[in-house]
Amino acid sequence: MKKVTTALAFSICLGSASVSVLADPPVAPFYESVIKMTPNGKLGQVIKKEQVKTSIQGAQAWRIAYISSDVNDKKTIATGLIVAPTGPGPKEGRPIMSWGHGTTGTAQNCGPSQVLNPAEPLNEYYLVGGNSWTDYGIPSLQEFINEGYVVTATDYQGLGGGGRHQYVVAATNGMDMINAARAAASLKELNAGKKTIVYGWSQGGGAVIAATSLPQYLARQGTAADNLQLIGGVALAPQDVAIVMPGATANEAIAQKSLTNTLGMFTDNVFNFTHMAMGMWGTQAANPQLKMSDLFTDDGVKVLNEVFSNKCMHAGADTLNFNYGANYKSLLKDQPDNSLEWTKAMIKASVNPVPPVAPVVIYWGTKDTTNPPVMGKLYQEQMCKLGGNVNRVQLPGEQSHFTTPGSSKPFYIQWIKDRLAGKPAENNCAIAATLGS
């Protein structure tokens, strides 16, 4: 299909349906009612819940909606799941595992808790055995329930709770993970304690390392459950945008070069381009003063707004591939405008240059072409220099971005047990500095 024909077809379509371009797609009644609510309440306060079935033995599960906030300290509503063991718990309360999922999309119906049976082990749609059009479920869920942990899994804001999703705004996504843990701790019937581990993959991996560098946010009082004890972070193939943009905010010229290079890292195929474009869409959602037209053509802005408001990740990538094929880069401007303000926003949205409050371990594969492992390497170097305890583990074999959750499971389960047992975490900062890896 020729580009001109495609653009004309989209122009006609958008012109005849312009009033629905940014309309929310259909969601189930639970989310319909939540979207109409206002985020009044304490951080972590559960404002709606409904029980859902689960195949996990010895477990009970709920969909929840709770109060969170974003990188601008604006209160939001996030949705998600809580899965907890049945029966009484220990006197000190059950540990909390807070899961951050990988990319599912940006439309209101892209939250993993919205599938028919969401309280299941991680189900990756593209693997043999996957049974859905999206990734959903929670890694190691049965194992964690067997150990007596309470597990919570945020959808993040904008994926069922109203408002535009701030995709890969790691600070916002990390706050959603923290407040999901507060939500679990606030529900007395779960007998959850204060000890908390955050673990996540891809987008969620970035949220993990962002959450561990939010000491003041973690220390806030007057929440639904104060004084969480964050004792570890497990990041599977995380992203850290700021770390690959050193010195980007010095001036407009440097910012433009840095932004152009960063955008170029994710335009080698239409799948990665869709991730990148959604990231810019999410950054703009958190920064309304920015304009998508700074980065994308007029046609690109119209198409991306339509697609990202109404479709989840893989349907969105398929749409761009079907309509643009090898010409998907034509949606980008030759040179970005307002680069300094964009780079400032992207850096603010990323991981704070603050040492993590608890040990962090990163698991990565040599064949990851979605989140380049160099981001984790540079993150570790930064945090080690600041005095953080960061271990970075190369997974055995040739692991891709998408095999990382399964291949890392035997490692992080024991790592989590050790943290809960009070054992000191291995820190390979010195080794990494010596080897330069």
For the stretch 351-388, pLDDT in tens is: 999 999 999 999 999 999 999 999 999 999 999 999 99
Checking if the pLDDT of 22 tops 70, the result is: no
Query: 1-437 falls under which CATH superfamily?
Result: Alpha/Beta hydrolase fold, catalytic domain (3.40.50.1820)
340 near 255, Cβ under 8 Å?
yes
Across the chain, mean pLDDT equals: 93
Long-range contacts of range 9-18, CB-CB < 8 Å, 24 or more positions apart?
Answer: 9/323, 10/299, 10/302, 10/303, 10/306, 10/323, 11/299, 11/302, 14/302, 14/303, 14/306
User: Nearest to residue 139, comparing CAs of 386, 350, 328, 402?
Assistant: 402
Where b means 16+ CB within 10 Å and e means fewer, 161-182 reads: bbbbbbbbbbbbbbbbbbbbbb
For the stretch 112-147, pLDDT in tens is: 999 999 999 999 988 888 898 899 999 999 999 999
Checking if the pLDDT of 2 tops 60, the result is: no
Is the Cα torsion angle 329, 335, 336, 339 positive or negative in sign?
positive
Q: What is the DSSP letter of 393?
A: E
Checking if the pLDDT of 434 tops 80, the result is: no
Using CB atoms within 10 Å of the CB of residue 356, give its burial: 0 to 12 exposed, 13 to 18 middle, 19+ buried: buried
Q: Average pLDDT of 36-53?
A: 97
Rg (alpha carbons) of the chain, rounded to whole number: 21
193 near 95, Cβ under 8 Å?
yes
Checking if the pLDDT of 33 tops 80, the result is: yes
Checking if the pLDDT of 18 tops 50, the result is: no
Checking if the pLDDT of 17 tops 90, the result is: no
CA–CA dist 124, 397 (Å, integer): 20
* Percent of the chain predicted with pLDDT > 70: 93
Token reading at 65: 């909606």
Checking if the pLDDT of 4 tops 70, the result is: no
For the stretch 203-255, pLDDT in tens is: 999 999 999 999 999 999 999 999 999 999 999 999 999 999 999 999 999 99
Checking if the pLDDT of 34 tops 80, the result is: yes
User: Nearest to residue 47, comparing CAs of 186, 149, 250?
Assistant: 186
The gap between the terminal CA atoms of the chain, to the nearest Å, is: 45
pLDDT band of residue 315 (cuts 50, 70, 90) is very high
* Percent of the chain predicted with pLDDT > 90: 88
Q: Average pLDDT of 85-108?
A: 96
CA–CA dist 275, 285 (Å, integer): 15
CA–CA dist 70, 295 (Å, integer): 23
Checking if the pLDDT of 288 tops 60, the result is: yes
pLDDT of residue 265: 87
Checking if the pLDDT of 406 tops 50, the result is: yes
pLDDT of residue 435: 55
48 near 65, Cβ under 8 Å?
yes
Checking if the pLDDT of 305 tops 50, the result is: yes
Checking if the pLDDT of 437 tops 90, the result is: no
Give all strands of the β-sheet with 46-52 in edge-to-edge order.
Answer: 46-52, 59-69, 75-85, 150-157, 94-100, 192-201, 229-236, 360-364, 390-394
For the stretch 148-197, pLDDT in tens is: 999 999 999 999 999 999 999 999 999 999 999 999 999 999 999 999 99
pTM (predicted TM-score)? 0.93
Checking if the pLDDT of 415 tops 50, the result is: yes
Among the residue ranges 88-92, 313-317, 350-354, the one predicted with the least confidence is 88-92
pLDDT of residue 127: 87
User: Nearest to residue 155, comparing CAs of 116, 189, 195, 203?
Assistant: 203
260 near 346, Cβ under 8 Å?
no
Checking if the pLDDT of 295 tops 80, the result is: yes
Among the residue ranges 81-90, 130-139, 294-303, 428-437, the one predicted with the least confidence is 428-437
pLDDT of residue 21: 40
Q: Average pLDDT of 389-415?
A: 97
For the stretch 60-78, pLDDT in tens is: 999 999 999 999 999 999 9
130 near 72, Cβ under 8 Å?
no
Facing residues of 67 across strands? Answer: 77
pLDDT of residue 390: 96
Q: Which residue has tokens 């972590």?
A: 44
Question: Side-chain half-sphere of 206: how many Cα atoms within 13 Å?
Answer: 28
Checking if the pLDDT of 401 tops 80, the result is: yes
Checking if the pLDDT of 287 tops 70, the result is: yes
pLDDT of residue 228: 97
